[in-house]
Structure 1
Amino acid sequence: MSDDRTEVTRQLGGTRAVEFDRALLDSSHAADPGEEAWRAMRIQGEFVNGFDILGKLGPAIAVFGSARLKEGTEAYELGFAVGRAVAESGFAVVTGGGPGVMEAANRGAVEGDGVSVGLGISLPFEDGFNKYVKLAVPFHYFFARKVNFVKYTQGAVVCAGGIGTLDELFEVMTLIQTGKVGDYPLALVGVKFWTPLIDWLRDTLKEEGTISEADVLRPLVTDDPAEAVAHATGRD
């Protein structure tokens, strides 16, 4: 690991950083005006740093997926295939920079001779960036990272994942539904994994009138990484 990667990995870790961030949303925390002002500056700094680095990135696709599904699982192999296909299509691969499916996509980008990017987040149970991230951007705040994800990618491929992956997926779907972003294609890889969610959207939310048919039909669901990437890159 290079000195630069060591430094950004250090910035992501540490119990003190996690406790400091948690205090932002803790209503019982006695806010110190000086501390709050410093936190506001830190938030601003995260946006400035992200915009400065990623503004030079060029065309890119976000790849979301579980940190828990390691090498040897179907999801990891699909993530690798997606990352490689994105790179071979001339787009950078942007993940959360962690292990599991994120590592797989970054690995695919590297082996596909593409640009491999990680937007890392400080978490108590993850240890910095995976070794396939070549451009590492550290964040402490999820909302700052989400803005950078959507601002600097032209579409997303979502692999199997848990609550964090669903959070990223529904964040994008909300931005699309509300017109906060324009054309931002979404592809979900794993028909067996994602079909129950799509069925729930259609059979429960749409039937109750809380979403429209367009919301249900928006994501492409496929088992084919190449089809998913073609959709996300607008080349289908």
Structure 2
Amino acid sequence: PILGNVSPVVFIPIAEEYRMVSRLTDLIIQKVCAQISNWTKAGLPSVPVAINISLIDFSQTDFMSKLVKYLADFNVKPPQIELELTETSLEANQAHSLKLMQTLQSWGFTISVDDFGVGYSNIARLADYPINKLKLDRSLISQVTSSTRQKSLVKAVHVMCEELDIKCVAEGVETQEQVAIMAQMGCKEFQGFYFAKPMSAENFAEHVSRHGLVFNPKEMTAQL
């Protein structure tokens, strides 16, 4: 009532600073599991739902046990959840991070590194940790159509991911040209406004019921 809608960009750093973010993460995991359960009961096809995990969350000794409990409560399977980590999460406690990631993967969770390319990305970490996906930050993708050097850099990262058997995901895709260039490189997973803007669970269910999970660029253009 006082501030109106507050963006996660604003309130998440505050929650992390005061070490309250784990309460938010717990709530989000519960809501995601409940929503996946509802979609499954309704017979809707679904894709894995990605949840951002904070450095503080990843450092909690009971993180794994709480995560498994939430899944059990709603009869959700680990492959239906993707856990997105930042490079900072990996750097904080390397021995703990490595052990936890191996445990999560053994349960069937997908582990992805988010916003790769922001700041000083440590390429060596890609070989050190069992990572399933690497999400290239929007700042890298936004220039592939205008900068030859940027395009070459992204292509090199993609080739490196292929050699390490890591799926490379293009984030922040907003144009068909960006999709085409990334697809030529061999990229198979994309994320961005070109496909859809954020939508409510109700709108998602309606969209999937009507169109399924196959993306149709012609329908997208017509809707816009």
Establish whether TM, by shorter chain, passes 0.5. Answer: no
**Greater relative contact order structure (CA < 8 Å, 6+ sep):** 1
What TM-score results when the alignment is normalised by the length of structure 2?
0.29
What TM-score results when the alignment is normalised by the length of structure 1?
0.28
